[in-house]
Every structure is written in structure tokens, then in C-alpha cells.
A and B are shown apart, each in its own frame.
Chain A
Amino acid sequence: MTPFRVTLADVARRAGVSRTTASFVLSGRTDMRISPDAQRRVNAAAAELGYRPNQTARSLRTQVTRTIGMISDTIATTQFAGEVIHGALDTALERGYLLLVAETSGDPIAEKKLVDEMLDRQVDAVVYAMMFTKPGCPPDALSELPVVVLNGIDDFDGPRILPDELGGGRTAARALVDAGHHDDIYAIGGRHRTTDTPDGVYAGRLRMRGVDEVLADAGTAIAGSYECAWEPEHGYEGVASLLDEGHRPKALVCLNDRLALGAYQALEERGLRVPEDVSVVSFDDSDLASWLRPTLTSVALPHYELGKTAVATLLDGTSGRRLITVPMPLRPRDSIRTVSA
């Protein structure tokens, strides 16, 4: 059913050596003496025939399959997940590893079955990923494998990789302060305090803490924070209600690009221009940021880097409890006006 594959026996036959000799040469083992001539013949035969080792057979012997499992709560519902996978794939492939990708939709039963399926295929290591920063820990079944947790905020006995949300918050506020903004700076989205998340979410709390720190250093503070979920309609409602209540923001810190889209819509409806009347800075640096008119200055969520760092950490074999934060750089565009003092 499957096409013909060159075997070790074929290489041995062509080189005129035993199967054992061919195997020792091709696996680079040095615990058997093999003449340089035989080595040369085996390598030449392997090259001529296009021989590739059978990883399935090799993995039975070495217990290494050169595969990494990526178990994620959700792949499809965030448009950034692709970049995480992309970063992980690139790094894996560079080192001759492949990535098994599976998603649990947050269902523990699906997760258990998936973990079993991956263990059945003897994955060498696992990236346990959440698509945004939140609580979560890998299941016990994974405890005997090297695991890194991506975006998980719960304590875990191994490496965890998170975006530097606090630094990101500082960066956003600094972009406004550096442009001369001081008063009438409002936050849209805030800590994401809603009925479902009364204490806010991790990213919201840290970003806001960073914003507050930098504004305090500059001798000012947020004029008001509109707490809501982080979708465009909420950004629209937040900005519309601020304006209707008579607030006159000079600058908005939108907690993500979707909120900023909603903010743009509300400002536009009321005839206010970005950045002439109101400056806007945001987080994520998604496609939306470059699609808006004027283009949006945004602090990037480093999705590609997160995926890359996760796989690199696994393959470097460094284990132990620790936190690795990945910087969130500013992508300056056209939505912040420089205010003369």
C-alpha cells in the first residue's frame, strides 16, 4: 500500500557489509571497530540509495521519537494561536523535531484521552499551552515527561512561559507620556472586571499595574477606567458612554486592539478624530492594528516568540520550576499625537 522504502539491509547489501556493520556506521556508534573503507562504503551506499533511518524502529531502541506534543485548550478561537504554532513549528523543525498538535477545548475528558494518545505515540516532550494567560496546570499523566506550560499563571513544577504583561503596561503608558500626554488619559477595558471575572484577568491586572506605575512616576494618574469584556462592542459602548457623560479624553489606553476598533467607531460617530482630538494606544498588535485608519500604535503580544521559546526551552532540556517572560515590544504607528508642553 505504501511506496517502497530503502532499508538498512539494502544499504548493507550495496556496501557489501553486514547489516550490523551498516547499522553501527549509520547510527554513529563507535563501540565497534570498523575500517575507514567500510565506513566510506556504507555512507556512499546510503547516499546513493537515499536511505533514511526508520524513526519508528529507532525510537523503540532509543526511546526518543523526536516528536513534541502540543496540547492546547483552544486553537481556533483566537486568531493569534496560529503564530504560536508557527513559532513552535519553526523551532522544532530546525532541530529535526515534529509537532503533534491537539486541542482539548478545555474539556478534561478530551484532555485525558488526548494525553493518552500522545503517550501511546511516545512523544518526547509536551508544550501545554493556553491561548491567553490564565490559570491551568498539566494533568498528572504528563508528570513523567518534560513539559513546559505556555501562558499558564498557576504555579507549576517546571518552566512556565508568559508574556511580560507588566512591562507591556509600562510600555503603553510610556508611549503616551513620552508624547507629552499628562491629563485626561482613560483606560478602556481595564482589568476586565465583569460578572464572570469579578477580579479581572491576569493580563488586565498586570497591564493596568504597569500603566499606573508609569503615570504615577510622571506625577499623574488614569482619569477613569471603563471595566468591561474586551470585544469591539464593549470598546464602542465604553467610549460612547464616557463621551455622553461629558468626559473629554485626550488619550485612551485600550486593553486590546478589538477594544480600540470599538473606540475608533465611537469616536468617529461623534466626529472626533484620531489622533488630532484623541490619541489611542493599545495592546496585541493584531492585524487590526494596521488595518485601522489611522493605523494603531499597539504593544505586541509576542505569539511567535512564545511558541519558539516554549519549544527551545523543552529541547534545551532545562527543567525545574521557573518563570520565563517574553518582552512585549511597542509597534509605533499613527494613533498617538505629540503634545507640545
Chain B
Amino acid sequence: MSSRVTLADVARRAGVSRTAASFVLSGRTDMRIASATRERVLAAADELGYRPNLTARGLRTNVTGTIGLISDTIATTPYAGEVIKGAADTAFKHDRLIFVAETSGDPNVERDLLQEMLDRQVDAFLYAAMFTQSRQPPELLRGYPVVLLNCVAESFDAPTVLPDETEAGATAARALLDAGHIERIHVIGGRHDTTETPGGVVAGRERMAGINAALAKVGTAPASVTECVWHAPKYGYRAVSELLGHARPSALICFNDRLAFGAYQALHDHGLRVPDDVSVVSFDDSDLASWLRPALSSVALPHYELGTTAVTLLVENRREPGQVRVPMPLRARASIGPPATT
């Protein structure tokens, strides 16, 4: 089928047996081989451009040098690409490749995909959610090297890589405090406490806790928290439009850049300018943040670093359960100013 150089070719060129060539190339030391022979084999392999057949090696050693990335959804978030890139770059540095699979959150699809990966003897798994949430990895994964990415699992012992959402909340609040805001700070998005996610989502709860703690430290608190879904600007637009009907905010903390985009639209409709009249800080640092006018100060979700950190744990074969928190830095732009004088 292809003109791939085989072990037999190398042995022939070096004038040694196939067994001897195999021992030299796999680095085994349990057979005595003359150093001249060893050199001939290595030279022949080099000249012919020999590369080991990993499929065959996988049968013998149970190691195929592949990592499976199983995620709920790749396509619907523009950030997922960065997670995959971080994971793929790091894997590649360690001579591993990544199988990428997405389940759309369907447990049947998840089981099939996982089975397909096990059939191909994937060595290790990244089990990922595209935003921080509680998830239960499938039972099939038990016993394999697994790192959980962006999700919290109650009864599954594995290292878990998460963004430091609590500290991110504090960072956003401090950015406003540092600019002189102390009262009339309103929150848009909140814990994401909605019909579908009663009590909110992990990212929402943790960011809220960070915000409350940072504000409490200086004796203040959010003037209001509007709970809503985060996935489209229209929810931010609606929340801020309603808010402006009865309040005059000094600053808004929007729980992602899309909500902030909607907030900008509502403020504009009311003739209010960012940051002259109202300051805005946000989370995600997506492309949108730099596209808005004025550009949006946003606390970055470290997608690339989440991918690199998770694969590093797998490659180092770190199996002990526990959370690794990846920092979320503030990307300061032009949406925060001193409080407007009223």
C-alpha cells in the first residue's frame, strides 16, 4: 500500500538479523549487541528514514502516543479552539497526537466515542467542558489516566484543571474600586441562576463570591444583581435596559463579553457613554472585547493555558486528585474611567 521503510529493510541494509535491528531501535538492553552492529543499525535506519510503526508497537507495549480530548461542545464556543490549540501544541511537544471528539452533551454519543477511542488504544484522556460546570465522566473512563478540564466531578478521582474564577471576580471588582467606584456597582449575569440552571453555574457562583468578598473588604456591596443567561448580547441589552428604567449605575460588571456588548447597546440607546457616564468591566477577553468601541476591559479566560496545563499533567502521569487553578488576568482597555459626577 505504501513504500514505508520497514524494520526488515533496516536489518537488510545493516546486514543484521531483524531481531538484532529491533533490539537496537527499541533501545532494549537485554540482549548483547556489539557496538559496531549497533552503529550499523542506527546508520541504516537514519539513511533509510526508518520510523517505527506505532500501530504495531501499540499492540506490544499498549502505548500509542495518543490522547483523547472528549468535550461536550467544540463548535458553539469560539474559545474552544484555543483550548484545543493549547492541548495539541503541548501534546505535539511530547510526540503525542490528540484525538478530538465532541459529544454535544449526549451520554450515548459520549459512550460510543469513548469506545471508539478505547478500540484504538488511546493512552490517556482529557475530559473537558467548554465552560466551568459540574459534570459526571462516564464509568468507562475509570482506571485510565484522566484529567478533567473545566469541569467539577463529585465522585471521580482525577486531577482537575479549572480557571481561577473566584480570584477573577475579585480582580474585576478591584479594577472598578481602583478607578474610584464604590457605590452603584451593578452586576449583569450573576450566578446564571435560571430555570435551567437553578442556583447558577460554577463560574457564576465563584465569580460572584470573589466580587462580594472584594467589595465587602472596603465596606460596600453590589447595588443589584440581575440574574440571566449569558450566551447572547440580547440578554445583556434587556437587563441593562430594565436597570436604566429605575437606576443610574456608576459601573457595570458584566459576566461575559457578550453581555457587555448588549450593555453597550442599551447604554447607547439611553444616550449614556462608556466610560464617561458608566464604566464597564467584563469576563472572557474574547475577540469582541477589542472590537467594541471603546475597547472593553475584560478578565481573560485562559483557554490556551487550560489546554497546556491539562496535557502537561497527563504527560507527566500525574494521577492524584485535586484542583489546579489557572489564573485569569485582567486585560485593561478603555471601558473603565473615574465615576461620573452626578
Q: What residues of chain A have their CB less than 8 Å away from a CB belonging to chain B?
A: 1-3, 5, 52-57, 59-60, 63, 65-67, 75-79, 81-83, 85-86, 89, 93, 96, 98-103, 110, 113-114, 116-122, 144-145, 231-232, 236, 258, 261-262, 265, 268, 287, 290-291, 293, 304
Query: Does B81 lie at the interface of the complex (its beta carbon under 8 Å from any beta carbon of A)?
Result: yes
**Contact between chains at B81 and A76 (CB < 8 Å):** yes
Q: Which residue of A lies closest to B95 (CB)?
A: A117
Say how far A87's CB is from chain B's closest CB, in angstroms. Answer: 8
Chain B residues near A83 (CB-CB < 8 A): 75
Answer whether A79 and B78 are a contact pair too, CB < 8 Å, given A56-B59, A144-B2, A261-B291: yes
Provide 15 A-B residue pairs closer than 8 Å at the C-beta atoms, listed in order of the A residue: A55-B120, A67-B120, A83-B75, A85-B84, A85-B100, A96-B116, A98-B113, A100-B99, A100-B100, A103-B88, A117-B97, A144-B2, A144-B3, A232-B291, A287-B78
State which residues 275-313 of B face A: CB under 8 Å: 287, 291, 293, 304
**Contact between chains at B102 and A86 (CB < 8 Å):** yes
Apart from A2-B143, A93-B101, A117-B97: 20 A-B pairs, beta carbons within 8 A: A5-B118, A52-B115, A56-B120, A76-B81, A76-B85, A78-B81, A79-B287, A82-B80, A93-B112, A98-B117, A99-B99, A100-B98, A102-B92, A113-B92, A114-B97, A116-B51, A119-B4, A120-B54, A121-B54, A262-B291
Q: Which of B2, B4, B62 meets A2, CB within 8 Å?
A: B62
Q: What residues of chain B have their CB less than 8 Å away from a CB belonging to chain A?
A: 1-4, 51-56, 58-59, 62, 64-66, 74-78, 80-82, 84-85, 88-89, 92, 95, 97-102, 109, 112-113, 115-121, 142-144, 232-234, 237, 258, 261, 265, 268, 287, 291, 293, 304
Chain B residues near A66 (CB-CB < 8 A): 120
Q: Which of B4, B53, B75, B117 meets A86, CB within 8 Å?
A: B75
Q: Which residue of A lies closest to B100 (CB)?
A: A101
Answer whether A291 and B88 are a contact pair too, CB < 8 Å, given A78-B81, A117-B95, A117-B97: no
A52, B234: Cα distance in complex, Å:
48
Nearest 5 Cβ contacts at the A-B interface: A79-B78, A86-B75, A76-B85, A3-B143, A76-B81
Chain A residues near B1 (CB-CB < 8 A): 63, 144
Say how far B101's CB is from chain A's closest CB, in angstroms. Answer: 6
A3, B141: Cα distance in complex, Å:
9
Chain B residues near A118 (CB-CB < 8 A): 97
Chain A residues near B287 (CB-CB < 8 A): 79
Chain B residues near A304 (CB-CB < 8 A): 75
A317, B58: Cα distance in complex, Å:
27
**Contact between chains at B92 and A236 (CB < 8 Å):** no
Chain A residues near B232 (CB-CB < 8 A): 290-291
Say how far A6's CB is from chain B's closest CB, in angstroms. Answer: 11
Say how far A122's CB is from chain B's closest CB, in angstroms. Answer: 5
A65, B89: Cα distance in complex, Å:
24
A77, B84: Cα distance in complex, Å:
11
Q: Which of A81, A236, A287 meets B81, CB within 8 Å?
A: A81
Say how far B240's CB is from chain A's closest CB, in angstroms. Answer: 13
**Contact between chains at A121 and B113 (CB < 8 Å):** no
Answer whether A76 and B258 are a contact pair too, CB < 8 Å, given A89-B100, A102-B97, A291-B232: no
**Contact between chains at A122 and B97 (CB < 8 Å):** no
Say how far B12's CB is from chain A's closest CB, in angstroms. Answer: 21
Q: Which residue of A lies closest to B86 (CB)?
A: A76
Chain A residues near B113 (CB-CB < 8 A): 93, 98
Answer whether A65 and B101 are a contact pair too, CB < 8 Å, given A55-B119, A78-B81, A93-B112: no
Q: Which of A79, A121, A236, A262 meets B97, CB within 8 Å?
A: A121
Chain B residues near A77 (CB-CB < 8 A): 81
**Contact between chains at A121 and B64 (CB < 8 Å):** yes
Chain A residues near B89 (CB-CB < 8 A): 103
A9, B99: Cα distance in complex, Å:
29
Say how far B276's CB is from chain A's closest CB, in angstroms. Answer: 14
**Contact between chains at A120 and B98 (CB < 8 Å):** no
**Contact between chains at B88 and A101 (CB < 8 Å):** yes
A75, B237: Cα distance in complex, Å:
31
Interface centre among B4, B59, B84, B97 (most CB of A within 10 A): B97
A66, B99: Cα distance in complex, Å:
12
Chain B residues near A52 (CB-CB < 8 A): 115, 118-119
Chain A residues near B258 (CB-CB < 8 A): 291
A54, B122: Cα distance in complex, Å:
12
Chain B residues near A55 (CB-CB < 8 A): 119-121
**Contact between chains at B121 and A56 (CB < 8 Å):** yes
